[in-house]
């Protein structure tokens, strides 16, 4: 099973992806980390993300093993990530990495879930299930601030807000693979619902997806038959 999740900054695509990965035994790739790893390499080389050749060179050098580096989560790295992400050559290199992950998910898993900005539209247009999360800027700002506090990262709230606005604008307006919902994506507005409710909604939609056979989901999620029965009856109109 292949699941694609997209959405703007701090909307909760990563949280949903981790939740679905646990429920359905899927490998998870946060594709934003690839762009962040490119940005970290560009920054380390004294660049600012504007030079396409330097950014493409950094993209070619990125290894999947670098993605666990905590420094990639920093706000300045995120800002430069959205700058390197506008270069088509960078996207082309990272496209291969993402598709490889989906084609060969980690051993022992039953598929892959990828989250980012263009997974359902460009990276995995044939994904079995696609989600596009939306959320007001205010609610996303609250989530990002909570995340920064939890990591103990110093921040200025007005700056975080400004960065998020600029990043969203850049992600939506770039020519190459802009942030957009695929026409066949389930759009979930997260403004009024918490992460758990988003996960439950998404799980229901996965189980009722015509591309996923119920038997397959039941077996993969390891749910006992009475739970599966309950899910089935909840899905019935
Ligand atoms: O964590 P957050 O939502 O703030 O961002 P991220 O997912 O780590 O992505 C960082 C940046 O990488 C985004 O602002 C995008 O510009 C870029 N990106 C992209 O262009 N395409 C993707 N599939 C994933 C991320």
Give the residue extent of every domain in the chain: 2-223
Instruction: Tell me if 114 sits within 8 A of 101, measured CB to CB.
Output: yes
CB burial string 163-184: b at 16+ within 10 A, e below:
bbeebbebbeebeebebbbbee
Residue 150 CB coordination number (10 Å): 8
| Alpha carbons 104 and 120: distance in angstroms, whole number | 18
Atom of ligand 1 at shortest distance to CA of 10? 3
Q: Ligand 1 centroid to 227 CA: how many Å?
A: 36
| Alpha carbons 207 and 148: distance in angstroms, whole number | 34
Give every strand in the sheet of 129-134, ordered side by side: 27-30, 112-116, 2-6, 129-134, 186-189
To test ligand 1's pocket by mutation, which of 32, 87, 135 has the most ligand atoms within 8 angstroms of CB?
32
Residues of the chain predicted below pLDDT 70: 213-237
Give residue 223's pLDDT: 43
Give residue 216's pLDDT: 60
Give residue 153's pLDDT: 87
Helix (H) or strand (E) holding 227: helix 225-235
Strand partners, 132: 6, 187
Give residue 234's pLDDT: 30
Q: Ligand 1 centroid to 211 CA: how many Å?
A: 27
Give residue 222's pLDDT: 46
- Say whether domain 2-223 belongs to CATH 3.40.50.300: yes
Q: What angle do the packed helices 13-24 and 214-221 form, to 10 degrees? A: 90
- Whose C-alpha lies nearest to ligand 1, atom 2? 9
- Whose C-alpha lies nearest to ligand 1, atom 23? 116
Secondary structure (3-state) at 149: helix
């Amino acid at each position: 099973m292949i699941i694609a999740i997209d959405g703007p900054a701090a909307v909760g695509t990563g949280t949903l992806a981790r939740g679905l990965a646990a429920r359905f035994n899927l490998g998870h790739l946060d594709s934003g980390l690839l762009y962040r790893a490119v940005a970290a390499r560009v920054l380390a080389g004294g660049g600012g993300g504007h030079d396409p050749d330097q950014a493409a060179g950094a993209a070619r050098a990125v290894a999947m093993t670098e993605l666990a580096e905590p420094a990639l989560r920093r706000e300045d790295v995120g800002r430069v990530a959205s700058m390197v992400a506008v270069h088509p050559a960078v996207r082309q290199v990272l496209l291969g990495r993402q598709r490889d992950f989906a084609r060969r998910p980690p051993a022992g898993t039953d598929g892959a879930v990828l989250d980012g900005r263009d997974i359902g539209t460009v990276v995995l247009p044939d994904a079995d299930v696609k989600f596009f999360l939306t959320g007001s800027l205010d609610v996303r700002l609250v989530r990002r601030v909570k995340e920064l506090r939890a990591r103990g990262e110093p921040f200025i709230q007005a700056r975080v807000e400004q960065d998020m606005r600029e990043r969203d604008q850049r992600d939506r307006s770039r020519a190459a693979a802009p942030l957009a919902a695929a026409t066949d994506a389930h759009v979930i507005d997260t403004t009024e619902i918490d992460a758990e409710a988003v996960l439950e909604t998404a799980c229901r939609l996965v189980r009722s997806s015509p591309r996923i056979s119920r038997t397959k989901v039941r077996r993969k999620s390891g749910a006992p038959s009475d739970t599966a029965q309950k899910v089935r009856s909840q899905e019935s109109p």
